[in-house]
Amino acid sequence: MSSFLKLLFSKQEATKEEPARAGEEKQIKRKSKKKQKNDPGCTQEKWDALVESGENLSGVAEPFKVSMEELKKHNTKDDCWIAVRGKVYNVTAYAPYHPDGAKKIFKHSGIDATKQYMKAHADVNEEEMLRTCYVGPLVDH
């Protein structure tokens, strides 16, 4: 290959790679800026393992129909229930693992937080993530 062609190809490679590399750097910067507010050591992987272990984290022996009146009673850090999309979960154990902090969970304790949940992350699969925390369906009687 002539030196002219070599030069031409090396220039093409460089221009092909530039935008991709610049994009990657931006991506890394953006990711590292996103502040994780979960408790130290309480990673998504650990939570997944805990759920996978099958341990019952719901605080009830069997799921039962939960009224709004009952839901409201479970509004403390030690006993925190939240309803999402018609289902009530005991999220006491999950709170320290929440990527946006336990505070955000406790702030919504004892209520139907479907609207807030959907606004923040409609794509998160709570049915799967909280399957061992399930207390029962939310009913309005």
Contact 136, 63 (CB under 8 A): yes
Determine, following the binding rule CB under 6 A, whether residue 120 of this chain makes contact with ligand HEM. Answer: yes
Contact 140, 67 (CB under 8 A): yes
DSSP 3-state of 64: coil
Residue number, 19 or 54, with CB nearest to ligand HEM: 54
Buried b or exposed e, range 91-117, using 16+ CB within 10 angstroms = bbbbbbbbeebbeebbebbbbbbbeeb
Determine, following the binding rule CB under 6 A, whether residue 48 of this chain makes contact with ligand HEM. Answer: no
Determine, following the binding rule CB under 6 A, whether residue 116 of this chain makes contact with ligand HEM. Answer: yes
Q: How far is the CB of 19 from ligand HEM (least distance, A)?
A: 26
Contact 73, 110 (CB under 8 A): yes
Determine, following the binding rule CB under 6 A, whether residue 91 of this chain makes contact with ligand HEM. Answer: yes
Q: How far is the CB of 102 from ligand HEM (least distance, A)?
A: 10
Residue numbers at the binding site for ligand HEM (CB under 6 A): 82, 84, 91, 98-100, 104-105, 108, 113, 116-117, 120-121, 124, 126, 129-130
